[in-house]
Amino acid sequence: MDFLHYQNGHLFANKIAISDLAQQYGTPLYVYSAAHITKQFLEYSQVLVNRKHLVCYAVKANSNLAILNLLAKLGAGFDIVSLGELERVLKAGAEPNKIVFSGVAKSVIEIERALRAGIKCFNVESEAELYRINDVAKQMGKIAAISLRINPDVDAKTHPYISTGLRENKFGISYQLALSVYRQAVSLTNIKVVGIDCHIGSQLTELSPFLDAADRVLALVAKLKAENIHLEHIDFGGGLGVCYADEQPPSASLLMTELNKKLLPYPDIELLCEPGRSIVANAGLLICKVEYTKHQDDNHFAIIDAGMNDLIRPALYQAWMRVLPEKEPQNTDESYNYNVVGPICESSDVLAYQRQLSVQQDDLLVVCSAGAYGFSMASNYNSQPRPAEVMLVADNQHQVIRQRESIEDLWRGETFL
């Protein structure tokens, strides 16, 4: 996270003291860097200047309107998986013809709304979905543009919960069935086949799974061409990993360069990708306050005001995320191996295990790399209001992009019998 550094003994984000952000907005608090988001997005597109392309941000990673609006202004497309995400990106200024609709359970209502909006295409994930889209389009007097999400059965070498490209995963259409389903698709009256899509998982730290999947997809493209089924685009999905600890994932520019090389025999085909985590993960951090320290036998706990309701990745994926103290550590400080735990009444409410820290009650801690799957997966479990979100818009400027929820917000919409 290149915008975090210590200065005069305290942690700063750009030129802004973490302690000042906590004092002004309270904790827990999500903070994002607009400059980092911009830099990461442009890294995908800058190497593709000679290729028609579209970088579709995966909205599920972080769906704040300000982030979506920032990306829309940069020319981004969007990869959505629900009606809510569709309405969000439209509200944020997205061009409908830059939206691709993924997801395994698209409802009739979602398909109708997407067709009315005029999205770029549906990424179809089953034969049943293909026929539903055709039926809905026929009833509306429209032609639905589709691509098939093909499951290439490539091992992404990532956590099983975020692996999506194996035959046992719920996503996509089996590689073995793909040709047959394409034949069915071109025979339907209200379907226009425009592309092919794959996505094999998330937090990939090697090039080889991407390139293996690309080879399998391109072999299928050649078979389709031989049957006079010509595609307008190939969507290679997302999933590029980031550095949380000591991972060394390839850069976005290297990934795009290598995928573009694979497409050299197809100069007229548009290249699509769907990055999410790699754009926003290291743009975000979570500031929290130590409510208590607790020492019993050889167990040491830093009990903070942020929990698994605010950031579920460590509990859900056993994710490792760096934790930094707001006060710069000194060699003379007394420190312990702390488990950093939250207020939620679950034993799994641990944001970090065994971190060497020197902290006291009321000190601040920063959980790094929290921009992806942080707030977007937050909940009100234990009737906890969700945090505020703040954007760093310049070296010394920041603004609220989501207000902290109030206690009254917790029961908004509820009624007595």
CA gap 257, 271 in Å, rounded? 11
CA 380 to chain centre: 20
Instruction: Say which of 56, 243, 345, 368 is annotated catalytic.
Output: 345
Dihedral (C-alpha) 266, 270, 275, 280: value to the nearest 10 degrees? 130
∠ CA 330-331-332, nearest 5°, is 90
State whether the Cα torsion 266-267-270-276 is positive or negative: positive
Q: Peptide bond before 209: cis, by omega within 30 degrees of 0?
A: no
The label of the residue with tokens 């997966």 reads 377
Rounded CA separation 236/213 (Å)? 8
Task: Spell out the residues 6+ positions from residue 412 whose beta carbon is closer than 8 angstroms to its own.
Answer: none
For residue 170, with 0-12 CB atoms within 10 Å meaning exposed, 13-18 middle and 19 or more buried, which class applies?
Answer: exposed
Would you say 116 and 137 are in contact if contact means Cβ atoms under 8 Å apart? no
* Residue 243 designated active-site: no
Structure tokens of 308?
A: 């698994």
Catalytic positions are 345
